[in-house]
Structure 1
Amino acid sequence: MADLFDSGAPKGIDTPDPGRAAPRPLADRLRPQSLGEVIGQEQVLGPEAPLGVMLAAGSLSSLIFWGPPGVGKTTIARLLAQETDLHFVQISAIFTGVPDLKKVFEAAKVRRQTGQGTLLFVDEIHRFNKAQQDGFLPHMEDGTILLVGATTENPSFELNAAVLSRSQVLVLERLSDDDLERLTARAEAELGRALPLTPDARSALQEMADGDGRALLNLIEQVAAWRVSDPLGREALSTRLMKRAAKYDKSGDEHYNLISALHKSVRGSDPDAALYWYARMLEGGEDPRYLARRLTRMAVEDIALADPQAQAICLQAWETYERLGSPEGELALAQAVIYLALAPKTNAGYMAYKAARRLAKQTGSLMPPKHILNAPTKLMEDQGYGTGYDYDHNAEDGFSGQNYFPDGIERPTLYDPVERGFERDLKKRVEYFAKLRAQRGG
């Protein structure tokens, strides 16, 4: 019967020991034990920063932490509870339903009756629907809970106005290069040895984390387990580790942030920056057709008649992409990016269009002056339609100078060209016709 208790494991292989604790991940072992140990986020934790001021005053309000993954949202929330002697409760909006929330609120009420407050940390709070978010309000207002929500999405779009009005939004930033180096050094101290990497490979490892501290610690843990005789270089490291995908959501904040950066770099006549943001969007998986459409918009909105070829070049690049596909088609779009960035800029046409729309709304249904109306019937002739119209081709210089605005409207100036690019020539024409119009009493 003794064989029944024999594990049968091959010699030299340890069998599980029920009394031995499982090894803790490096990220868990390095979890800060106080706010002073948190790496980065000085903009919210510093002595004069929002949380520093709140803690110094002994008055903590409900908070929303907005930032990318791996920057310390959960850790800071837990340490805030510790600093303020609040009971820490953590839930995730992904796995928590209304019945679970009711239990959390009931438990918080019981604690409050015994003099213990509750800091409720809600991860991915933006995933709760409107009704669920509304459920927090009475418990926030009567002090049952102090809410700390965490979100990777823009709170302005994803959270109820009522929740936002009762909370302070704090932006947590991706970790800087210096922050990542400090975290690497702290990990090496915990491991008791340096990573088997050259300085260049060490930098590459931190680049792979892309500002995510948790991702960096996971990568470090993998590297530390390797048995190598000599430090690995960048290329050897890249062979062994898969680069972390860049943070990019084609329908979220990153999409709009990057297209805004591309547009403003083009408007700012910086081809290098424009190419960088264009490449960042492609690396994130953006559809080149979307970029082609936005480039065409830039040509219309920001370059316009300062360089009439810009729009045509964008349309040609778009068509080239449709015919060639990737990657050659993306090169055609890149060349359009460069052309737009270096082209002269004007928004005079855009501003004139908006002014014309405003004037059209203000003036309602005013009729055109009768002299520029056609008179296909006798009745219309009798009403004066077409009477006094001057045919411009028969006028001196091909310009009659007549008024074409409704009667009673003082002539506005809607289009005011700039002294740049082709629009410089258009400005001369505008001024020339204005001079003739004044001479002929139009």
Structure 2
Amino acid sequence: MADLFESPPVPDNAPRPLADRLRPRTLAEVIGQQKVIGPEGPLGVMLASHSLGSLVFWGPPGVGKTTIARLLADETDMHFVQISAIFTGVPELRKVFDAAKHRRQNGQGTLLFVDEIHRFNKAQQDGFLPHMEDGTILLVGATTENPSFELNAALLSRAQVLVLERLTLGELELLAQRAEKELARALPLDGPAREALLEMSDGDGRALLNLIEQVAAWKVEGKLGIDQLTTRLMRRAAQHDKSGESHYNLISALHKSVRGSDPDAALYWFARMLEGGEDPRFLARRITRMAVEDIGLADPQAQAVCLQGWETYQRLGSPEGELALAQAVVYLALAPKSNAVYGAYKAARKAAKATGSVSPPKHILNAPTALMKDLGYSDGYSYDHSAEDAFSGQDYFPESMGRTVFYEPVERGFERDLKKRVDYFNNLRAKRQQTKG
């Protein structure tokens, strides 16, 4: 039976991209990912103990997911089959499984590499399970999205998730040197331009090799500087998926930098999101949320600054209006911090849920009818403006609940003054209770 999804052989003299020519032939040749493939890494340990199981590689593009999967098949003498979830439907999957069963009957295992595995829906993902369990296939999936959100729990329980990281500048330099050896010539770049080229790849080895291939084809004399390089090459956009893992990672970094009172880090993550194509209106919404969650009444002006920045952006648009949002980010980072109201609100919601439909105390209920008066509604209510200091000190909580403290202001910013007010009314309340006693 002929193998399906097998590419026809490529003639030796056919042109091949640099990335393909430099594809490692052994795991030892792979640059980077030593935490995963090194002797003490999970893959190294599996191979040494001859106990390779199904895997999911999670990481950004161009870090070696496909290459490592192919080399794993070589290391374990398994037949390598590669499919993409984007182009493969249920009929094609059936053919893959049938071919794998035939191979298994002939004594050979199949390592099925599924690129973009998160693109398969739940039913398609479930379709892998019986073939994984009976040993028909050893599944190696690759995804740039967080598997916790994108893959079924049943599939994840049968596969180990390994995180592959973007390549460091040092690792990219090793890759560049390997490319120069293959090309038999050095890149026509001075030191700063060479470093800029590495940074343009944004940790993506495949992207770097594509850029090197372009630069190597230029007919130039001497070495080019940064200005000449950036004029000839478009800088690669930083990775940022506006609905995926990167999106949530960056907004989390921005929020925590603001909470940590670091305006420089906050501006950096704010700029990273804008460079990645994030909608500034989303950022305006989120920084306003930061104002009410992490600053609160320690600086009531913070919320107004955010709303003004948001309105300014709405009027000016991009890029001019983005400066108003940047000002709000800096203001928030330097503002005194308090989550006292945020914590009090959550505690009050929890108490409200726990106490259900308990009624307010009768003395603060209106009594518009005679029957309600007879039932004690409004009986004993004290009008605060008639009391000394315009404060009666009555208990406004349900009788079955008793007085509860939710809001505890901090000794920072404007909440320092609010704490004095809370303490003032607490002292008055205690005096009133003593008088009544």
Same fold (TM > 0.5): yes
CA root-mean-square deviation: 1.4
Instruction: Structure 1: give runs of 5+ residues left out of the alignment.
Output: 1-17
Q: 2:96 aligned with 1:104, yes or no?
A: yes
**Shift in Å at residue 175 of structure 1?**
0.7
**Shift in Å at residue 405 of structure 1?**
0.5
Alignment of 1:219-238 (within 5 A): 219-238=211-230
Query: What's 2:68 paired with?
Result: 76
**Shift in Å at residue 328 of structure 1?**
2.0
SS class of match (1:121):
strand
Counterpart of 1:26 (choices 1, 10, 18) is: 18
Instruction: Structure 2: give runs of 5+ residues left out of the alignment.
Output: 1-9
Query: What's 1:175 paired with?
Result: 167
How many Å separate the matches in 2 of 1:266 and 1:391?
44
Counterpart of 1:363 (choices 338, 355, 367) is: 355
420 and 86 in structure 1: CA distance in 2 versus 1, 3 angstrom threshold: same
SS class of match (1:328):
coil
Counterpart of 1:124 (choices 116, 121, 124) is: 116
**Shift in Å at residue 327 of structure 1?**
2.0
How many Å separate the matches in 1 of 2:150 and 2:264?
34
How many Å separate the matches in 2 of 1:366 and 1:23?
79
**1:201-225 CA distance string (max 9 Å, x none):** 0011111111110010011111111
65 and 19 in structure 1: CA distance in 2 versus 1, 3 angstrom threshold: closer
SS class of match (1:387):
coil
The count of aligned residue pairs is 425
Segment of structure 1 superposing worse, 113-122 or 302-311 = 113-122
How many Å separate the matches in 1 of 2:12 and 2:29?
29
Q: 2:156 aligned with 1:164, yes or no?
A: yes
19 and 202 in structure 1: CA distance in 2 versus 1, 3 angstrom threshold: closer
TM-score by length of structure 2 reads 0.95
SS class of match (1:321):
helix
How many Å separate the matches in 2 of 1:261 and 1:408?
44
How many Å separate the matches in 1 of 2:210 and 2:289?
42
TM-score by length of structure 1 reads 0.94
**1:401-433 CA distance string (max 9 Å, x none):** 111011122321111111111111111211221
Alignment of 1:202-281 (within 5 A): 202-281=194-273
343 and 358 in structure 1: CA distance in 2 versus 1, 3 angstrom threshold: same
How many Å separate the matches in 2 of 1:325 and 1:337?
17
Query: What's 2:85 paired with?
Result: 93
Alignment of 1:329-340 (within 5 A): 329-340=321-332
One-letter code aligned to 1:348: A
**1:355-383 CA distance string (max 9 Å, x none):** 11111111111111111111122222222
**Shift in Å at residue 20 of structure 1?**
7.3
Alignment of 1:244-323 (within 5 A): 244-323=236-315
How many Å separate the matches in 1 of 2:37 and 2:103?
28
How many Å separate the matches in 2 of 1:158 and 1:358?
31
One-letter code aligned to 2:197: L
The alignment-based identity, stated in percent, is: 79
Query: What's 2:28 paired with?
Result: 36
One-letter code aligned to 2:211: L
Alignment of 1:368-383 (within 5 A): 368-383=360-375
One-letter code aligned to 1:53: V
